[in-house]
Structure 1
């Protein structure tokens, strides 16, 4: 995804379909993405070979790793 072609969305303005990006380590690159589905939840594939799942942005792991969100038009 080219994040430069999308609008940055504040976390409190997320809508279903927005891409949510995460940084799990202190590096400067985002290394995980999911799709927001509403109610502070997002759908994603945790890692290669694992099933797609739904998680909460309020979960301490995802809350700590949250970086930004983008809305593609």
Structure 2
């Protein structure tokens, strides 16, 4: 795990731990933290603060800035992407936590929350994941 593209488990743990400190923070469209977030603002804020990684601002750009990985190969700290609007483009992002769970700023729940990829809605709208640390 020392190649430039692989992030240590410690960094990935740090990302999840920091993200969890924001659970319950209000969802506000266009917000990038530190106390209110939209989905991509939340992901960007967490990665910048916890891992000093700068991500693109919007989910559709975050979804294409690294190669896609199979959902079978997802590991905690990877980004998971969804098409939630029915318009054929990525419209939502979260951070994978392992065990088919992800943390995200949800417009539906109006807060930062943890959801399951196996829930009916996210199972239907999930499109792909990326490893934000891949080179």
TM-score range, shorter chain: 0.7 to 0.9
The corresponding residue for 1:45 is: 105
More strand by share: 1
In 2, the alpha carbon distance for the partners of 1:24 and 1:4 equals 17
* Structure 2 unaligned regions, length at least 5: 1-55
More helix by share: 2
- Using the size of structure 2 for normalisation, the TM-score is 0.49
Which one has more relative contact order, counting CA pairs under 8 Å at least 6 apart? 1
* Structure 1 unaligned regions, length at least 5: none
Deviation beyond 3 Å, 4+ runs, structure 1? 2-5
Aligned residues: 73
- State the shift of 1:19 in Å: 0.4
Superposed CA RMSD: 1.9
Secondary structure in 2 matching 1:12: helix
State which structure, 1 or 2, has the greater radius of gyration over its C-alpha atoms. 2
